[in-house]
């Protein structure tokens, strides 16, 4: 059984044997990064874009209209909420504190809910909102890319969306994420 010399040429090179290990090491690194990521968080494509236009009745004054231009002029928060949403209720005390801190006005988009319940809820638990727009059928919610209430947007004085927070805001979130964002926006606009 002699061995033809040419056969050596069809041998896989040494690095081929290391290939599976290499790919695997890459995967492990990826997974370590992946464990830090939140699979449920979807970044919004609206950031850096003007707030979507809408024109809706106000919660407390159904005869009056609330529209996106009302958000312009100063840095503001837009909070999307409903009374059927338990985590919105959980978030409510934090919104009250934020309103008290008076760093930025909070506007509400009252999402897919009966206005009566909302008025009742705010009467009993305090009203952190400067004004609320009632989005009864949820169509404005779609414009804003809502997928999990509560959602909170930071909108600058030109009406450009600068930040989005999904899920209830905790006091920690406010201190660590939203407030610094508002402050940096304010500094920029002052310059």
CB of 75 to other proteins, least distance (A): 23
On whether the CB atoms of residues 152 and 169 are closer than 8 A, the answer is yes
What does the alpha-carbon distance between residue 70 and residue 79 come to, in Å, rounded to a whole number? Answer: 14
56/137 Cα distance (integer angstroms)? 11
Of the two residues 74 and 176, which places its CB atom closer to other proteins in the complex? 176
83 contacts other proteins (rule: CB under 8 A): no
Closest distance of CB 87 from other proteins, Å: 4
159 binds other proteins (CB under 8 A): no
Tell me the residue ranges of DSSP E strands in 24-130.
55-57, 65-67, 76-81, 106-111
Q: Is 176 in the site for other proteins (CB under 8 A)?
A: no
Cβ contact 58:51 at 8 Å = no
- Interface residues with other proteins (CB under 8 A) are 1, 3-4, 6-12, 14, 17-18, 20-21, 24-25, 27-28, 30-46, 52, 84-87, 90, 112, 137-139, 141-149, 167-168, 170
């Amino acid at each position: 059984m002699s061995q033809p010399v040419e056969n050596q040429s069809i041998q896989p090179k040494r690095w081929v044997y290391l290939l599976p290990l290499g790919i695997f090491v890459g995967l492990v690194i990826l997974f370590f990064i992946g464990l830090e990521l939140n699979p449920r968080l979807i970044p919004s494509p609206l950031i850096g874009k003007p707030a979507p236009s809408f024109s809706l009745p106000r919660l407390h004054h159904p005869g009056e209209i609330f529209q996106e231009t009302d958000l312009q002029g100063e840095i503001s928060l837009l909070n999307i909420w409903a009374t059927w949403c338990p985590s919105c209720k959980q978030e409510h005390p934090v919104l009250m504190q934020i309103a008290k801190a008076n760093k930025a006005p909070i506007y509400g988009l009252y999402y897919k809910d009966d206005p009566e319940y909302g008025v009742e809820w705010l009467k009993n638990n305090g009203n952190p909102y400067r004004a609320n727009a009632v989005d009864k059928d949820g169509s404005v919610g779609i414009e804003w890319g809502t997928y999990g209430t509560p959602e909170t947007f930071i909108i600058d004085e030109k009406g450009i969306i600068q930040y989005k927070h999904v899920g209830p805001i905790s006091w920690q979130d406010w201190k660590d994420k939203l407030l610094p964002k508002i402050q940096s926006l304010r500094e920029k606009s002052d310059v």
